[in-house]
Amino acid sequence: MDNLRQIEDLVRRGARLCSHSGQVTAGDVFVALPGTHVDGARFVPEAVSRGAVAVVTARGVAVPAGVLHAEVENPGQTLGELARIAYGGGGYPCVVGITGTNGKTTTTYLVEAILAASGRKVGVVGTVACRWPGNEAPSSMTTPDVLTLHQTLGRMARDGVDTAVLEVSSHALHQNRLAGIAVEIGVFTNLTQDHLDYHHTMEEYFAAKALLFHAPGKACRLAAINADDPWGRRLAQSRPDAVTFGLAEHADVRGCVQRMDLMGMRLAMTWQGRRWEVASPLVGAYNAQNLLAAQTVGLLLGLDPNTFAVALEHAGGAPGRLERVPHPRGVHVFVDYAHTPDALDKVCATLRAVGKGRLIVVFGCGGDRDPGKRPLMGEAVARHAHVAVVTSDNPRSEDPEAIIDAVMPGLAQAPRVLRESDRRTAIALALAEARPGDAVLIAGKGHESVQIIGQRRLPFSDVAVARELAACA
């Protein structure tokens, strides 16, 4: 028996897997992952000193004598395969993986609604929360690390979950966090500028997303791809078995917006000669695409499209995604997570197009993130808003005023600009500015419950602040 087979046997007998040397305890198996900035092989001596009985590394790494050592081509992939042995003995739920710059969270919630209405027991792993019937916990990242993800899927399976819907980030795909997990359906929503501080170029960003559909031996079995998105069309050309969705005529699952206003939309769908309609409280062409994505998943799972209308009629999408906040004076207040130029442009364009009053937008840009998008965010707001209120998002280690300075050139053509770095005060300014019939969009943080300023994580919810201030209007 070679060393890797011996390690697999240790895991079957209950040895704990660990990829962080500082968490190793006696009897563990340590897998040294090559990191983006630091190579885990550096921490092998620490892991052994803490009691690791076996170590998995890339080839050519020295390990202290007397420790079982397996050298492999891809430690991350091996970790996933070992994790499946550890946690997937009873099998995993059917996995639906949703990737794309925008729309992942909303689409995940819509898929959940469709599957639950069809009688399936559904689990969700994503930006807002990790949950399934009887269990819920907040999420710290869009896609967990590989061990946490395997543990979660194993727990879901033991609790009777038959389908798990995962938001899959580009970071997760690039870092192979889905190693050892078979994805039944992969969904591509869109690709726009974001995370270039990590991926550097749009081509590299696209290549990371495409791993869900093309990685040898790891690609999803079935694919649903947005035909309205240029990157989606490119992806579909390289995946000819994909089912495309969109508002364009050439989409396989085609949608046509029958009606749209600030209260929602009616959408008609056609696919393989069938036609059906759904009413939804969601607003915007991009949400029409999210509705189409979710229904395409249902179709690929063999569900009856006639059941979709009941499932989606009251499905308001995800928290902080064009979430409505009641206002006593007839002002339409929305909180949205839009934090990329494209997402902000789309949500502003939607509210401007379907609203009858003015559009007032509160927004900012996160610190320690892609600085190139800051003036582009300003341009997106300037194209559509009657009043722009630029403020802080999560400044992190950067000076909030310096971030706003970087946004301001993009607002040169805005009709009116208010500048206020205190986010609560900025929201109050926007609501005070609004008249009955106006729309106020508070963009950037969505469902988030904290604001990160320096090293501090301060309690802050756009929804809670807007509700409090609106109640006093």
Residue 21 belongs to a domain: yes
The whole-number pLDDT of residue 215 equals: 86
pLDDT band at 197 (very low <50, low <70, confident <90, very high): low
Q: Does 260 have pLDDT greater than 60?
A: yes
Percent of the chain with pLDDT over 90: 89
Looking at every residue in the chain, the average pLDDT score rounds to 95
Decide which of 45, 62, 86 is a domain's last residue. Answer: 86
pLDDT band at 414 (very low <50, low <70, confident <90, very high): very high
pLDDT band at 308 (very low <50, low <70, confident <90, very high): very high
Per-residue pLDDT of 151-181, as tens digits, reads: 999 999 999 999 999 999 988 998 999 999 9
Decide which of 258, 281, 312 is a domain's last residue. Answer: 312
pLDDT band at 100 (very low <50, low <70, confident <90, very high): very high
Q: Give helix 374-384 / helix 341-354 axis angle, nearest 10°.
A: 10
Task: Report the number of distinct structural domains present in the chain.
Answer: 3
Residues 95 and 82 in one domain: no
Residue 374 belongs to a domain: yes
pTM of the model: 0.87
Residues 337 and 299 in one domain: no
Residues 413 and 346 in one domain: yes
The whole-number pLDDT of residue 199 equals: 54
Residues 76 and 174 in one domain: no
| Range of the structural domain that residue 464 is part of | 323-471
What average pLDDT does the segment 91-118 reach?
Answer: 96
The whole-number pLDDT of residue 216 equals: 85
Residue 317 belongs to a domain: no
Per-residue pLDDT of 50-82, as tens digits, reads: 999 999 999 999 999 999 999 999 999 999 999
Residues 182 and 61 in one domain: no
Residue 82 belongs to a domain: yes
pLDDT band at 1 (very low <50, low <70, confident <90, very high): low
Residue 318 belongs to a domain: no
What average pLDDT does the segment 126-140 reach?
Answer: 90
Q: Does 259 have pLDDT greater than 70?
A: yes
Residues 198 and 51 in one domain: no
Residues 392 and 287 in one domain: no
Decide which of 251, 281, 312 is a domain's last residue. Answer: 312
Residues 203 and 294 in one domain: yes
Q: Does 450 have pLDDT greater than 80?
A: yes
Residues 151 and 262 in one domain: yes
